[in-house]
Every structure is written in structure tokens, then in C-alpha cells.
Amino acid sequence: MDEAYDISMNSRLRECPDPLLRGVPLPCRRMYFPLGTIVEVQSNSELVIRAADQSFSRYGAPPAHMKTSIVIRICVDPVIHVNGPWPKPHYRALQHLFHLTCGDSNFAIADLRSGTAIGFVTQAMAQDRSFFCFTFLECLFHVLAVHQRLTPVHCSCVSWRDGAILICGPSGAGKSTLAYACGKAGMPIVSDDVVHLTHDNESGGILLWGNPWLLRLLPESRTLFPELELIAPERRSDSELYLGVDVLKHCQGGIRVSCQPSLLLFLEQNGRGASELSPLPSTIVLERLQKDIVLDTQEVVDRHDALLRQLAQLRAYRLGVASHPGLAADLIKTLA
């Protein structure tokens, strides 16, 4: 930790008034290794650490030889006590600063240059673990990691025969539902709604990282999969309800955290009663992938563009999905 900010170390400073809570000690600290990136979470509350465990711990312990890339400091406010329901979060950025706010009492700022995020949340927010993890911890981590080294692609992702299959499409197209059907058909889950790419120095290709442990399905998916009927809907940061499906419990294919991409599918609704595939030219694939690039420094945008151009050279298909998604999952197996 940067000792310049650990002002609680100095007994003379502790005698000064602290209306901004600048000197609140952050004794709770833990290291994680999500998406191949070392992140340290610091807080004054074990609630934040337990939430970070849920978001990051299953990636395993960080290698001893690697340095910390990201530090996230979240203080549970000892003065303000505000309960939910929570308003919709708002996100803004100005040059190297990223700002996240959820009402008047829950906010955070990430400094992209230093790889550090700081924030204050109420105890009730920290206790609402699913919402807090998605809205604060995972959001702050992804913003910093994408600026540093990763390129995001908004898609669900499964694995088959050692390669990753990216399931792309607009919001509501059924990406997560199809991923769940693939998992039930024996294909390992790689990620729910986003994967992160980086250059693989060993092969010269692309290495893909996912978050495979939870699928977020729309509540109406229970009409297709009756076994999900007992899962109670939860609310995510965009205020939509979803079913949090435990992949290891419900999907025979299990999980994969990282692998190389081999195939891209772009979902479209098919009204002809059967799932259909048709090849998609690389020019159209690249045009669609480039829509995921958001404004950043020129260096970061160029890095994203280079990786997406490389990804667009893989085999790609339009997938018209009709009837039950399990039929589409069987069709996908014939491609890989």
C-alpha cells in the first residue's frame, strides 16, 4: 500500500479533526487473481472482503512472482446509514478518472493511470452482496483491467473440444439461455455475458478469460427449463430481475476459466421453426465486434482493435435460433 495515504499511521495526524473520514483505517485486506490480473481489495469491513471472495476468489491464489496491478479500497461508511431499494447506478469518466455512483451515499472513483479505485458505501449496500459485487467490486475491477491489458467482448461463451465458442448478439437475444442449454448438453461454461481477451505470448494467438460460475437468465427462461423454478429472482444493477444459475450445480459440462477462442456465433431469431447456420464474412464480424470498443486513450483503443481484428479471422456463423435452445446446442456441437 502507498504509505503516503496511510495517514492513520501517524499519531500526530490522528489528533486532527477528520470530517471527510480520510483517516478511517482499512485493516481488512486480501489478494486475488481474476482474469490473470492481481488485485488487492482493502476495506474497514469484512463485509467487503466476503463480497470480494464471492467475486474473485475462485480464480485461485495469485503467483508469488507477479506484482499487484490493481488496488480497490472500499470503506463502509460509519456515519451514513441508507437502505435500499437502490437507484440505478450512473457511470461517468473524465480523462483518466472513472466515477460510479448509486444514489447519494454509495460512490467510487477509479484512477486509470494508477490502477487504484476508492469508494464509500453504506453497510446496507455491502450486505446486499449480489448487487454490491456486480455494481461496485466487479465493475471497478473490469474498468481498471480493461484499461491496463484486457479487451472485452460482450457475449456468452462455452467450450467444446478445447476451444472457446463465443455466442454474440444484442441484449435479450438469448445468449445466456443458449449457453445454459449448451452446459446442460455437456459443454463447459466459460462466461455469462462478457469475455476478456489478451495476447497469448506463447502461441502468438489470443487467450480468452471468462467468469464461468454463474449464469444470469431472465425469469421467463423457467418456461424452457422447469428445473429452474425453485431459483428466486434477484435484482442486478440495471434493475432487471434475473435467475442466478449455479453452473456447477445445474450444468453437466462444468466450467473452464480460460482457453483459446475457436468459433464465433451471432444469434438471430429464426421464424422458420428450426435452428439454422450460415457463414458470416470476416468484414461483417469485425464491424460487429468493433461496436464493443469504447472511448479511451489511443493506445488502449488500438490494442482493442488489433485483438478484435485477429479474433474476426476465426470461423463465424449466423445462428438462427428457433424452438428449444437445446436443439441449437446440438447443432453447435457439429461445428467444433
Does CATH place domain 151-333 in 3.40.50.300?
Answer: yes
pLDDT given at position 141: 98
b/e 118-132 (16+ beta carbons within 10 angstroms → b):
bbbbbbbbbbbbbbb
Instruction: List the beta bridge partners of residue 282.
Output: none
* Closest by CA position to 29, among listed 69, 72, 89, 67: 72
pLDDT given at position 1: 44
DSSP 8-state class, residue 326 = H
The model's pLDDT over 75-95, given as tens digits with 9 standing for 90+, comes to: 999 998 888 889 999 999 999
One-letter amino acid at 167 equals I
The model's pLDDT over 139-196, given as tens digits with 9 standing for 90+, comes to: 999 999 999 999 999 999 999 988 999 999 888 788 999 999 999 999 999 999 899 9
Q: Where exactly are the structural domains of the chain?
A: 3-148, 151-333
Place of cell 473440444: 161
Q: What is the model's pTM?
A: 0.88
pLDDT given at position 4: 46
> pLDDT tens string for the chain (336 positions)?
454 455 555 667 667 888 888 888 999 999 999 999 999 999 999 999 999 999 999 999 999 888 999 999 999 999 988 888 899 999 999 999 999 999 999 999 999 999 999 999 999 999 999 899 999 999 999 999 999 999 999 999 999 988 999 999 888 788 999 999 999 999 999 999 899 999 988 778 899 999 999 999 988 889 899 999 989 888 765 567 888 899 999 999 999 999 999 999 999 876 566 678 899 999 999 999 999 899 899 999 999 999 999 999 999 999 887 778 888 888 888 886
Please say whether the beta carbons of 285 and 317 come within 8 A: no
Please say whether the beta carbons of 233 and 163 come within 8 A: no
